[in-house]
Chains A and B, each alone.
Chain A
Amino acid sequence: MEKVEDQNPQQEEDQVVNPWEVSAKDGGKIDYDKLIDKFGCQRLDQSFVDRVQRLTSRPPHVFLRRGVFFAHRDFNDILDAYERGQKFYLYTGRGPSSEALHLGHLIPFMFTKYLQDAFKVPLVIQLTDDEKCMWKNLSVEESQRLARENAKDIIACGFDISKTFIFSDFDYVGGAFYKNMVKVAKCVTYNKVVGIFGFTGEDHIGKVSFPPVQAVPSFPSSFPHLFSGKDDLRCLIPCAIDQDPYFRMTRDVAPRIGYHKPALIESLFFPALQGETGKMSASDPNSAIYVTDSAKDIKYKVNKHAFTGGQETIEKHRQYGANLEVDIPIKYLNFFLEDDAELEHIKKAYGAGRMLTGEVKKRLIEVLTEIVERHRRARAAVSDEMVDAFMAVRPLPNMFD
């Protein structure tokens, strides 16, 4: 019997992690071990990474190798079924609250693209424009507009249009999707949802009734144009770990309405440039690298704003080496530098003081600039018509090819 954690965010204890707030204890670092323990999910260890490599006949994604995606629920079931020839589909999403996307936002999408390519499975992407309309008090039109703008950046991550369906809640909720929403809603009491999400008597009813919207894309019958007749199809959800509460609720409900529990594969949080304790903020452009940043911007931001673990003077640095625990350039390289050997070398040299902060930053700037450049070019190739096509309710006959 799996732990269905009812966490009340008002607890005086340490960190707060839920879909709307992430903060560490006393302005420190997030304790992921404690989080896994509290949420009741599993660590993703090396054996999984090896297994994925075997099953997909290709090198595992850098995020798997580096432990960026570090926790899961039932990923082994997905792999077992896959080995037996049973496919699955992917489900991920974005809350379009702003036009400005930064690299942290792209991480789940980069990983999902890899999963789509490696396992050759279809993908549904949910844009929760209704959620942002409610939580951020945006107008309906503005949240729909942001959803479409964000869709372009998502498409630029390289998803295959013949296997991907993107939808916005305002457009798609209804029909079979809504029927599943009601089925889910009937299984979750008001008290339960308050326990999971921390709603209060002051919160409006829109918020309280939102969770089923994010739950039901986990069920294939929500997409009759895609999965009709495939009620048995499993679902894998790559997401950041703060989304876990939605899916704990979903997994609790699923067997009661006759569906498979969705599996999850969860990532760490992407640190702000100013350090783990800093907050990445939409209003502080220097806290993150945006996909619209120029090479000059990236150079400036990394050089001037990245928090480093280097020592104050070169002499001290040569003697003591850098503090890799807090060094942001190293952390970012951990996410984005493909070459394992090169990363190891840099860590060793920097940690021993042989390499200086400036050199590490320089390498990071190269890596980030390449990523942002590639993204920008891909984004320029995304037209409004392409967005329409990705978002059209249409069959995907080759989705498992």
Chain B
Amino acid sequence: MAFSKDQLLDRLKELQIEFSQYEHPVVLTVEAQAKYVGNLGGALSKNLFLKDKKHRYYVVSALADTKVDLKVLSQRLGLGKGGLRMAAEEALVEILKVPLGCVTPFAVVNESARHVSLLLDQGFKTQEYCFFHPLSNDMSISLNAHGLDKFLKSIGRDPSYVDLEANPPVGKDQPPDLAAFVPSDAPILSDLPVKAPTQDSTGKHVSAASNSAAVAAKAVKPSGNAQNVKEKPVNTVQPSIPAADAGNFVEELLDRASALLLSEISEDSIKQHSGQLGAEVANNIKKCLREDLKNLATIFKNTAYTEGFYAGTRYQPKRL
């Protein structure tokens, strides 16, 4: 169900976005593209499809002259040094639904690219018009950054431009400035309300995945006028109000005790302690397990207390 070049062009016309189109033989690089549309006055773009270690994807679209340093970008996104690399060709096809050499900001129109983060070079704004591939390498279209914005807004995307050449320090007191561009990878369940991106005046791309039932909701809101929000998604799925289950608790205790017991009784230990083995093992078990079991018991206690507390806050006093 990939968006086609023609569908894209039709949509642009529908939205009354001004653009010019130029057909040419298939090109795979900016240099090749330049041969055909390089002398037409507009600026060429270079487009990178990147991924990070947590399998989140990014389209970085920049003027061909802009220097993009992946190491710097990785740090500014809060991914550490070397957290970004070029995505595999398969990902290109599967997620962006475009062939090799055809990465373009327009690819985010595809459903499969919903989670892909889009970073646009602020340099685009200084150009009268810029060239992009309209989902196919045998054509280039030129349009103004405003036109691109209009298109992106029409598909619910928040166009935000970034100074890609900037290299601000990132440290304990300077949080990564592009952290808001890292997609939140909270699981989206099919029957629940999905991304409702909000637009605010600072142009931040915000995605909110909401989920009422079992999974604890992680709603991410835009931070006022500051960009210093690091969204580090939590990977564990939270259980719904876990009940303090005495049966499970006891099973866990017994499992640990018997595992330790088994490890303590071996040919060697039998030889070593013979008659005293019982006392020896009992002592060891107590020593090794004491803290562990206390911790388990505390978790159990806290859980039971929480259940009671929760019930107490919804308690209906007796009617007199």
Contacts and interface: CB of A to CB of B under 8 A. Distances in A.
Interface of A: 20, 98-100, 117, 136-139, 141-142, 149, 155, 158-162, 279-286, 292, 374, 376, 378-381, 383-386, 388-389, 392, 394
A198 B199 CA distance: 40
B263 interface: no
Contacts of A160: 298, 301-302
B236 A284 contact: no
19 contacts: A98-B230, A100-B230, A117-B294, A136-B173, A136-B175, A136-B228, A139-B224, A158-B295, A282-B175, A283-B78, A283-B175, A378-B295, A380-B236, A380-B238, A383-B306, A386-B303, A388-B309, A388-B310, A389-B310
Interface in B203-244: 216, 221, 223-224, 226, 228-230, 232, 234-236, 238-242
A137 B229 CA distance: 9
Contacts of B247: none
Contact of B75 (A100, A137, A149, A283): A283
Interface in B75-122: 75, 78, 80-81
Given A142-B229, A149-B234, A162-B301, 4 more contacts: A138-B229, A161-B306, A385-B310, A389-B305
Contacts of A99: 230, 232, 234
Given A161-B301, A282-B175, A379-B236, A385 B241 contact: yes
A292 B305 contact: no
A378 B291 CA distance: 14
A172 B312 CA distance: 21
Contacts of B81: 284
Given A376-B236, A379-B236, A380-B238, A139 B229 contact: yes
A383 B228 contact: no
A269 B242 CA distance: 36
A225 to B, nearest CB: 14
A161 to B, nearest CB: 4
Contact of A292 (B224, B234, B301): B234
Contacts of B295: 158, 374, 378
A378 B299 contact: yes
A100 B223 contact: no
Contact of A282 (B172, B235, B310): B172
Contact of A389 (B223, B239, B299, B309): B309
B172 A279 contact: yes
Contacts of A149: 234
B123 interface: no
A383 B238 contact: yes
B182 to A, nearest CB: 12
B226 A139 contact: yes
Contact of A158 (B216, B235, B239, B298): B298
Given A99-B234, A162-B305, A378-B295, A383 B242 contact: yes
A155 B305 CA distance: 14
Given A381-B303, A392-B309, A138 B232 contact: no
A376 B239 CA distance: 13
A283 B298 contact: no
A141 B298 CA distance: 31
Contacts of A381: 239, 242, 299, 303
Contacts of B234: 99, 149, 292
Given A162-B305, A385-B310, A138 B298 contact: no
A283 B173 contact: no
B240 A383 contact: yes
B318 to A, nearest CB: 21
Contacts of B224: 139
Taking each of B173, B234, B236, B302, which has the highest tally of chain A beta carbons within 10 Å of its own beta carbon? Answer: B302
Contacts of B305: 161-162, 389
Contacts of B226: 137-139
Interface string B279-318: 0000000000000001100110111011001100000000
Contacts of B277: none
A285 B242 contact: no
B310 A283 contact: no
Nearest to A149: B234
B171 A281 contact: yes
Contacts of B232: 98-100
A369 to B, nearest CB: 15
Contact of B221 (A142, A380, A392): A142
Contact of A284 (B80, B303, B309): B80
A326 B298 CA distance: 38
Nearest to A376: B236
B260 interface: no
B12 interface: no
B295 to A, nearest CB: 5
B257 interface: no
Nearest to B229: A142
Interface in B135-192: 170-173, 175-176
A283 B172 CA distance: 7
Contacts of A282: 172, 175, 230
A289 to B, nearest CB: 14
A150 to B, nearest CB: 12
A331 B104 CA distance: 50
Nearest to B228: A137
B263 to A, nearest CB: 15
The 8 nearest A-B residue pairs measured at CB: A139-B223, A389-B309, A386-B306, A161-B302, A283-B170, A389-B306, A139-B224, A99-B232
A385 B216 CA distance: 11
B305 to A, nearest CB: 5
Nearest to A160: B298
Nearest to B238: A383
B301 A141 contact: no
A285 B170 CA distance: 12
A99 B235 CA distance: 12
Contacts of A388: 309-310
A392 B239 CA distance: 21
A283 B238 contact: no
Contacts of A98: 175, 230, 232
Contacts of B299: 158, 378, 381
Interface string B238-265: 1111100000000000000000000000
Contacts of A378: 295, 299
Nearest to B222: A139
